Amino acid sequence: MLSVRPIAEHDWPAIVALEAQAYSGIGLSEDRAALESKARASPRTCFVLDVGHHVAAYLLALPYPMFRSPALALPEAETFSSTNLHLHDLVVGKEFRRRGLATHLEQQLTQLAPSLGHTSISLIAVAGSGGFWTACGYEERPTVSVSVSYGANAVYMTRMIHGIPALNPQHPIEESLR
């Protein structure tokens, strides 16, 4: 059974493990305090995806001024009110990849964002993930400076939100997880 829900306190060990699995080998890992600070800044736009009773993926997004980004590995010291929502992190566990879970989470965020007053979403594509984000409708903004802490070839990307169609309740992702 697939479900997307808000992050609960008991989810943090699984989130930290997924984050380390995805980023520690490429030097982009953040500690629990930094991750939790992003979620505290906007609990309604941070969630986990469960497969059965297992946290298979998570997404952290927070309001942030357009063309700026949170510091990697540092706790957030300031909370912003912005029409831009910054998708700071989206990780799917290795055993659950290639099933459409990342796209499903991104679509959930994109559908939710307008109801919270957001008109755009930004992110920093790391480790060669730009092609995935382009396929999701994001555009590279090569003139926007990205901190070297995000790694070589990191790229700032944005997506404007308007007229988002509803998710199909028979989303193919559910079929692939049965």
Tokens of residue 50, six digits = 């469960």
Q: Which domain holds residue 154?
A: 2-173
- pLDDT, tens digit, for every residue of 128-173? 999 999 999 999 999 999 999 999 899 999 999 975 443 333 333 3
Look at residue 7 and tell me if it is in a domain. Answer: yes
- pLDDT, tens digit, for every residue of 44-91? 999 999 999 899 999 999 999 999 999 998 999 889 999 999 999 999
Q: How many domains does the chain have?
A: 1
Alpha-carbon dihedral angle through residues 68, 107, 60, 82, given to the nearest 10 degrees: 40
Look at residue 69 and tell me if it is in a domain. Answer: yes
Contacts of 170-174 spanning 24+ positions with Cβ under 8 A:
171/100, 171/104, 172/100, 173/2, 173/99, 173/100, 173/101, 173/103, 173/104, 174/2
Look at residue 178 and tell me if it is in a domain. Answer: no
Look at residue 73 and tell me if it is in a domain. Answer: yes
Full-model pTM? 0.89
Look at residue 77 and tell me if it is in a domain. Answer: yes
CATH code, domain carrying 66: 3.40.630.30
Cα of 64 vs its chain's centroid, Å: 13
Look at residue 157 and tell me if it is in a domain. Answer: yes
